[in-house]
């Protein structure tokens, strides 16, 4: 299995405000106070996984916009390991940094027609959907429209389904006397995203969901 080792960094709450992109105090951004912290996390990620041959990518984090601190993380990985590619999706919001951050053009849930427009515009970087299917409930669908791009465009590198396994906890139910899987909201907690973490191709007990059939079919077309 080929893997991307992603840095432990996600700060979309600092620049996504009420659904709008508003990066006035995005973290880490260009803030020198965060620089040592994010470099330390990049170093930890690198040291943990540097000897694993399955790791083919480093990722600078998830949904953390972009800025000089992220660029410094990229420089760290390139200095310590120039054999692997570096990925970061957030640079899509800061095109002025595109030459200093990420070896791939990466976007989340981009429409196939927009991907085609990018690929047919003489791109300098291959395209990677870091998230392109959100398998919540029975929502996984439309894979063919993305899968068709693989054969047509050599610069299209596929994508990552969000995600593989549900995140839930086994709890013993005294009424039924059975162990059951429970999600957000099942513990009377507030606030909660409820079953938003239940977006895997498999349930938390590793039982495949029906969506796995579609994924198996389309993955099987490219061997």
In 36-135 the beta strands, taken as DSSP E runs, fall at 55-59, 85-87, 105-108, 127-134
Residue 49: CB atoms within 10 Å: 14
Residue 196 pLDDT class (50, 70, 90 cuts): confident
Q: Pick the residue with more confidence: 209 or 194? A: 209
Considering the chain, what percentage of its residues have pLDDT values greater than 90? 82
105 and 84 in contact (C-beta within 8 Å)?
Answer: no
CATH number among 3.20.20.80, 3.40.50.300, 3.30.450.20, 3.20.20.70, domain 3-163: 3.20.20.80
Taking alpha carbons only, the member of 192, 189, 211, 191 closest to residue 200 is 211
- Find the helix or strand (DSSP H, E) in which 203 lies: none
What does the block give as tokens for 163? 């995600």
171 and 180 in contact (C-beta within 8 Å)?
Answer: yes
Phi and psi angles of residue 71, each rounded to the nearest 5 degrees, phi first: -60, -35
Measured CA to CA in angstroms, residue 223 lies from 75, 210, 216 at distances of 34, 22, 12
Dihedral (CA of 11, 15, 16, 17) sign: positive
Query: What does pLDDT average to over the chain?
Result: 93
Contact residues for 116 (Cβ-Cβ < 8 A; gap 6+): 149, 153
Considering the chain, what percentage of its residues have pLDDT values greater than 70? 100
Tokens 């973290």, residue? 27
What does the block give as tokens for 86? 């570096």
24-52 average pLDDT score: 96
Burial (CB count within 10 angstroms: exposed 0-12, middle 13-18, buried 19+), residue 23: middle
Give the pTM.
0.89
| Enzyme catalytic residues | 63, 131
Q: Which residues pair with 108 in a beta bridge?
A: 131
Q: How far apart, in whole angstroms, are the C-alpha atoms of residue 136 and residue 145?
A: 19
User: What was the pLDDT predicted at 123?
Assistant: 96
Which tens digit of pLDDT belongs to each residue from 85-111? 999 999 999 999 999 999 999 999 999
- Find the helix or strand (DSSP H, E) in which 68 lies: helix 68-80
Q: How far apart, in whole angstroms, are the C-alpha atoms of residue 58 and residue 50?
A: 10
Q: How far apart, in whole angstroms, are the C-alpha atoms of residue 60 and residue 191?
A: 29
């Amino acid at each position: 299995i080929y893997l991307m080792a992603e840095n432990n960094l996600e700060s979309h709450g600092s620049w996504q405000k009420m659904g709008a992109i508003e990066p006035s105090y995005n973290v880490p951004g260009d803030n020198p106070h965060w620089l040592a912290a994010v470099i330390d996390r990049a170093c930890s990620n690198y040291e943990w996984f540097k000897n694993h041959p399955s790791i083919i990518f480093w990722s600078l984090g998830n949904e953390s916009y972009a800025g000089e601190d992220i660029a410094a993380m990229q420089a760290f990985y390139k200095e310590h390991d120039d054999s692997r590619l570096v990925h970061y999706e957030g640079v899509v919001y800061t095109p002025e940094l595109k030459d200093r951050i990420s070896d791939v053009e990466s976007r989340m849930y981009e429409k196939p027609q927009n991907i085609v427009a990018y690929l047919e515009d003489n791109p300098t970087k291959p395209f990677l959907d870091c998230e392109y299917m959100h398998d919540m409930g029975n929502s996984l669908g439309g894979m063919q429209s993305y899968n068709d791009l693989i054969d047509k465009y050599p610069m299209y590198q596929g994508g990552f389904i969000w995600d593989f396994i549900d995140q839930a906890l086994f709890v013993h139910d005294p009424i039924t006397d059975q162990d059951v899987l429970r999600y957000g909201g099942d513990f009377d907690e507030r606030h909660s995203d409820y079953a938003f973490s239940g977006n895997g191709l498999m349930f938390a007990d590793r039982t495949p969901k029906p969506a796995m059939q579609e994924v198996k079919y389309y993955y099987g077309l490219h061997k």
